Structure 1
Amino acid sequence: MKKIQIDAKEMISLMMLFELGTSMMSIPGRDAGKDAWIAILIATGLGALLFLCYGSLHRHFPDLLMTQYCKVLLGKTAGSVLAFLYIVFFLYGGARDLRDTGILIADRTLQHTPLTIVCVLMIGLVMYVMHLGIEVAGRTGLMLLFLLLLLGCATNIMILLSGIVHMSNIFPIAQHGWQPIWEVVYSQALMLPYGEMVTFAMILPTLKKSYRANGVGVTAVLLGGAILSFVTLSNVVVLGEDVFKRATYPLLSMISKVEISDFVDRVDVIGVMTVIIFDFFKIFIFYYAAVKAAEDVLRVSYHKLILPFGLIMLVSCVLMTQGYQEHLATGEFVLKWMFPVFAVFFPFLLLMVSWLKKIRNKKRKGYAS
């Protein structure tokens, strides 16, 4: 059977789409106010270092999924338990993003459509792309990312022409010191979205062997982080700190202000379309990782898991919280206390075990010689 492979451009596209996903909608680090763009830049640098851990594990086990080298490093029983926990983690991440996207669509475009119906349509499209395969998703992601970047450039030009940019909104920088910025980096801006990039430990084996995973991943993290920081800075200079912190969707609030000589207005539809496309790919990546992890753990073809896992993610999305405020509060708790376990603790534990085993094998070879 032909081995599934995607090239560096497609992998970078998928990573950037994933990274910008719900981050474009919610803007992580908003508690830092007008300094949120600085928090994102700091988190981007730390996120690049974090990805080096995932890339290093891939370099040690280039043909294995994360769930597979969990069993190699920790033993079959402990490794299988950890692999199962990652399945739950991937499903939860996808379900949260599915709900976030459903709320956005129901609020902005389909106001009279129940949230469940919107989520059914979205997860149905995700399942269809899963059936087509990661290669199709990679090629599609590359084309759509190019289109979205062009739309982003056009939108920024219209914002400048509208005369709504007020650079004074970002001054003074770090008015309350650097401690609040660092607190936001840990509690919000690092795990969302850079900690979530651990999901790509399930996708890196599909990268063509002529490319280095660390180079590809770090490039995607830095490019995506630069774009996210720029978008955040744009939100601040257009909306001002108070509106930026209070707005449900700062990006859409900013774009809705665009108006040029009564000729160009209602540009917010571009923002809604952009956010939906980014969110779709983020949901798909979480879903793909969960299905591929379950295929390895349960020894069942992923084709047979597409429908059951789609239903699990859909039901989880609908039932996870009772209201929007509870949804946000749960997200803040999980982001601060649960995500670091899966994004930092477990990967670094696996990397340390890998290094220790490598050192022990070298010593054994030295004794044997």
Structure 2
Amino acid sequence: MQQQKISVLQFFYVIVGFELGTTIILGLGTEAKQDAWLVIGIGMISSLLLMGVFTQLSSYYPDDTLVSMIPKIIGKYLSYPVIMIYILEFIYNAARVCRNLGELLNSTILDETPTVVLIGSFMVLVIYCLRGGVETFGRMGELVFPIYIMSIVVIWILLLSVEDFNLKNLTPVLGNGIKPILKEVYLGVINFPFGETIISMMFFPFLNNKQINRKVGMSIILIGGILLMVNSIMMISILGPEIYSRNNFPLLSATQMVSIGDFLERFDALIILIMVVGVFFKVGCWTFGAAFAISQLFKLNHIKSVLLALGTIITPLSLVSATSFVQSLEIGREYYIPYVLPLIQIMLPILLLCIAFIRIKFNPGDPSA
């Protein structure tokens, strides 16, 4: 597994697809209402610093993933609980995203199919792909990503035909002041989805050109952020800030308003395609990260059996993590994103970078550094 490599372009496709994931459907910065696009822009710029932390750590330890570098930074025994925190985060995030997919499919085209069947079938597809290794996952991303982006662009073009489309819905800018924007940025968007790009540290050692990991990392944040900004502008322009802030699937609702000549309607299937592909990237990255982290922690030679075990864990976990989809969103937005993720995705990486800098600066001959 460690001998496999992926190209920089494949890595870019996979992580940008991961970054968009469910976010392109669910919307961001809803509490800021018409300033949601501004929230995404500020979060994107702020997250460049965070990506700088991730890439600097990887430049200190170019052959190590996030999990394998932690013992070299803080020591063998202190590293165990930290590694377990990241493994549990990866698994929980995969389950949470699967739940979102299952609920969307249940509420649209497959309303009579049990959610467990939908999620279980999807996990079989993900595990089948990941068992081929990181190269297979990278090639799949290279194949699917252009179709994914093309579908999003087609949706945007269709949204321009909606009669209710009005850019005045974006005004007044800063109509509610700066406080809601900063709250959404630093308790929300910077953690989800930008902070989640910490998963890229599980892929950096597999790059065939590690020297440009910082450039590609920054590009991922910028391109993903711009796409999310445009998407937010399109949704608010059609739905208005009030409906946008209350709707669980604003892009789906906006797309349902498309009607060309009273003939071309019901483009829901295209939204489902976007959601399925985005969740494939998201769950694939989280599951690969968890499986490879477990294999490194317990020094396993192969991760195929670990992937099978994770597949059987993630499916039921996605169902028991919340009693309903509304509760799942509430847990995520009210507790998990603003309080748990900052510790795992911001504070811990910054602390690890500071310790790594001190070790390398003052103990250059230390083999663990």
So what's the TM-score if we normalise by structure 2? 0.95
* Superposition deviation, residue 148 in structure 1: 2.1
For structure 1, which segment, 148-157 or 105-114, has the greater mean C-alpha deviation from structure 2 after superposition? Answer: 148-157
User: Alpha-carbon deviations, 1:188-220, whole Å to 9, x = none?
Assistant: 211110111111111111111354111111101
The answer to whether structure 1 residue 217 and structure 2 residue 217 are counterparts is: yes
Structure 1 counterpart of 2:326, one-letter code? Q
Structure 1 counterpart of 2:17, one-letter code? L
> Aligned pair in 2 of structure 1 residues 62, 171: CA closer, same or farther (>3 Å)?
same
The answer to whether structure 1 residue 115 and structure 2 residue 127 are counterparts is: no
Q: Structure 2 residue aligned with 1:349, among 327, 348, 351? A: 351
User: Alpha-carbon deviations, 1:12-45, whole Å to 9, x = none?
Assistant: 1111101000111211211110110100011011
Structure 2 counterpart of 1:261, one-letter code? G
Aligned mates of 2:314, 2:251 — CA distance in 1: 27
What are the within-5 Å matches in structure 2 for residues 1-369 of structure 1?
A: 3-209=3-209, 211-300=211-300, 301-332=302-333, 333-362=335-364
Aligned mates of 2:175, 2:310 — CA distance in 1: 47
Structure 1 counterpart of 2:357, one-letter code? W
User: Alpha-carbon deviations, 1:248-269, whole Å to 9, x = none?
Assistant: 2000111111111123111121
| Maintained 8 Å contact 1:28/1:40 | yes
Structure 1 counterpart of 2:37, one-letter code? W
Structure 2 counterpart of 1:292, one-letter code? F
| Maintained 8 Å contact 1:36/1:181 | yes
Aligned mates of 1:309, 1:324 — CA distance in 2: 22
* Superposition deviation, residue 106 in structure 1: 1.4
Runs of 5+ in structure 2 lacking a partner? none
Aligned mates of 1:91, 1:206 — CA distance in 2: 21
Aligned mates of 2:352, 2:36 — CA distance in 1: 32
Number of residues of Structure 1 aligned to a counterpart in Structure 2: 364
| Maintained 8 Å contact 1:39/1:184 | yes
> Aligned pair in 2 of structure 1 residues 61, 153: CA closer, same or farther (>3 Å)?
same
Runs of 5+ in structure 1 lacking a partner? 365-369
User: Alpha-carbon deviations, 1:89-143, whole Å to 9, x = none?
Assistant: 1101111111111111111121001111111011111111111122122122122
Aligned mates of 1:125, 1:322 — CA distance in 2: 25
Aligned mates of 2:161, 2:25 — CA distance in 1: 23
Structure 2 counterpart of 1:304, one-letter code? S
* Superposition deviation, residue 151 in structure 1: 2.2
So what's the TM-score if we normalise by structure 1? 0.95
| Maintained 8 Å contact 1:32/1:181 | yes
Aligned mates of 1:362, 1:220 — CA distance in 2: 32
| Maintained 8 Å contact 1:15/1:221 | no
Report the 3-state secondary structure (helix = DSSP H, G, I; strand = E; otherwise coil) of the residue aligned with 1:304: helix
RMSD between aligned residues: 1.5
Report the 3-state secondary structure (helix = DSSP H, G, I; strand = E; otherwise coil) of the residue aligned with 1:216: helix
**Corresponding residue for 1:367?**
none
Report the 3-state secondary structure (helix = DSSP H, G, I; strand = E; otherwise coil) of the residue aligned with 2:287: helix
> Aligned pair in 2 of structure 1 residues 2, 171: CA closer, same or farther (>3 Å)?
closer
